[in-house]
Amino acid sequence: MSISSPLRSQRGLDLTHNLLLPTLLFAALGAMSWAVRGCAGFGGSAGCIFAGVLWGVAWWFVARDGTSAQDEGDEWAWPARRYTSGWIVLALTIGIGISGARGWMQWPSFFEGKLQTDYAKGQFVPISRAYGFLWLFIAGIPWAGIGACLLAWCSPLRTTRAWHWALRIGCGLGAAALAVYLYQRYPQHFLPLYEEHRDRYLDLDNNPNLRRLINDSRSAIMHLGLFLGFLIYEVVRRDWKNVLLITTVGVLNGAGWAALQNWKWHDDIWPGVTFNWWRCWESSGGISIGIAYGVAYFLVNRPMRAAERAMIRARRSLSSPSIEWLVVYLGLIALLVLPVWEEAHVSIQAFLAVVALFGIVYCLRTRRHSSQLEPVSKPGLGATAGLPSSAKFDTALLDELAVAPDAGSMRVLKLLLGTASPRANGDPNLERFGLGLGLLVGLGFSVRNGLKGFFRMHYGNEEYYATLLWQIVGPALVVILLGLCAWIFWRPLPGNFTGDAFPRAAAITWLALVWQNVLGQLVTGPLSEWPEFAFAAYYVLLFVITAVIVIHFSDRVRCLPMGR
């Protein structure tokens, strides 16, 4: 112990691989994807999905760093990090996508000292710049933070059952509803200068920008309520790593967005220069989100200590495969696609139906194979050897042991690891399905929207191509999803599988990286225009940075055990 503990501590504090490289990777991906977010074909939730899937794949990939999975005595202890689930890709895709269902165009003018009432007529009233900082902070917290909330769901410390899910989601929706109620009931406490200009706020026909300000502010407050509701649930449940993850991402990005000021300071630095400054703001906003996730990764996703790893594995071994994850994400996907429901209802409905059917059938087939603690017979374990398979351990005991593990408690923790089912890391087949579902939603929506933007820029007639692309991409996604389901049912990983469920993780990461970068180039304007050429070259530079980091982590991921 005296020799191995310093080595493990050194691994945990490896700033290069736990902080610097992940943060640089997330920031570079955000710089490209968030700039593309506002281009033709994207915008709103569609553009945020484009960015979210990249962040999800990047987090999932670097978290698989195999060199930190080696425990004392050269024994493999997988997963080495807490947040490594294949569901992370879908979580960030949906979480960031939901956050994009609102605008921010009415607040940048605050940094110029203007509260726009009718922009077309040049009408405004003076306002303090402080309101700009306040509202960008309010907007920035849930824009990145809702994705962090869903990411936290991917690896709860305690077993999460159906009623826990109902309570968790109820906390978020309830807090969002309460926030909207308070906003509508007491507008004077939310809307800037409401008391001074009440007559203008009540005359929206002659003050159209105030109507947009009311709507944007309401959406921001609602999303902030959703964020706080999810956070409160984690506080009540005392999952402090989830609390730290969610709070870090939200607060850091809120502060970052407020400091950036929508780039309204560019005129003072480059007076008279014509450039696409708004896309510069978008890109730097993505960098802010990436930095927030990078810092959070360092704080919560360093290699776990043996006690924490034992708690995670033992709790998962007591949980049977269930439909809960699929039901939760099915509902979130349905919420995400509501804006395009009328446009592509047939393929979207079919997609959701396949997901639901898979969950039901899989749950029924695996119920009798629920993970349980299995009997063991090891010398030296005394009366605890040969435990019956129905044995249940008090999870509160695990909490107590993890707080201050001593020699005796570590023996018990190792016993728990020794008696746990081979599926102690979670059902690998559901993990594979979660990853595939996240890639389909993220990359599938992105290719449709990217091609729509490309045709809009070069051929016009956006509505025609938007409908045509759904007729092609929608059924293709359903067919691929059916293939994924068939693969999992007919080529499942064995029940005693203990290795890496994703041996081709690097190839998956390269697919997402190249796919999204190609789409980013497609929706960038003609290279004959200097601003568009500058951004196209900028995206290439960012791709090189991310590619180098992915190659580096690919070598480290190869250290993982292939399973048996």
Give residue 13's pLDDT.
Answer: 65
Q: What span, in angstroms and rounded, lies between the C-alpha atoms of 537 and 541?
A: 6
Mean pLDDT for the chain overall: 81
Inform me whether the pLDDT recorded for 396 exceeds 80: no
User: Would you say 497 and 562 are in contact if contact means Cβ atoms under 8 Å apart?
Assistant: no
**10-18 mean pLDDT:** 73
62-88 as b/e: b if 16+ CB within 10 A: bbbbbbbbbbeeeeebbbbbbbbbbbb
- Among residues 23, 33, 13, 27, the alpha carbon closest in space to that of 62 is found at 23
User: pLDDT digit string (tens) for 278-287?
Assistant: 999 999 999 9
CB 329 within 8 A of CB 56: no
> Which tokens hold the place of 329?
């994400």
CA distance 427 to 495: 9
Range with lowest mean pLDDT among 182-196, 461-475, 537-551: 461-475
**More confident: 362 or 264:** 264
Phi first, then psi: give them for residue 524, nearest 5 degrees: -85, 140
- What is the phi/psi pair of residue 115, to 5°? -105, 100
Q: Compute the half-sphere exposure of residue 419: CA atoms within 13 Å on the CB side of its CA.
A: 27
Pick the residue with more confidence: 355 or 232?
232
Mean pLDDT along residues 473-477:
91
Residue 123: its H or E element: strand 123-126
Query: Which one is predicted more confidently, 374 or 47?
Result: 47
Would you give the distance in Å from CA 113 to the centre of its chain?
35
Bond preceding residue 108 cis, omega within 30 of 0: no
Q: How far apart are CA 233 and CA 243, in angstroms?
A: 9
Residue 198 has pLDDT above 90, yes or no: yes
Q: What is the pLDDT at residue 493? A: 83
Residue 544 pLDDT level (bands cut at 50, 70, 90): very high
Q: How confident is the model at residue 313 (pLDDT cuts 50, 70, 90)?
A: low
d(Cα 295, Cα 87) in Å, to the nearest integer?
Answer: 21
Three-state DSSP class for residue 114: strand
Question: What percentage of the chain has pLDDT greater than the value 90?
Answer: 50
- Minimum mean pLDDT among 80-89, 193-202, 281-290, 342-351: which range? 342-351
State percent of the chain over pLDDT 70. 77
Going by pLDDT thresholds of 50, 70 and 90, the confidence category of residue 108 is very high
Where is pLDDT greater, at 163 or 421? 163
Q: What is the mean pLDDT of residues 70-96?
A: 75
Q: What is the pLDDT of residues 408-433, one digit of tens each?
A: 444 444 434 333 333 434 678 888 99
Say yes or no to pLDDT of 64 above 70: yes
> CB burial class (10 A; 0-12, 13-18, 19+) of residue 7?
exposed
Interval 132-151 mean pLDDT: 95
> CA 115, CA 125: separation in Å to the nearest integer?
5
pLDDT band at 535 (very low <50, low <70, confident <90, very high): very high
| Per-residue model confidence as pLDDT tens digits over 228-274 | 999 999 999 999 999 999 999 999 999 999 999 999 888 888 888 88
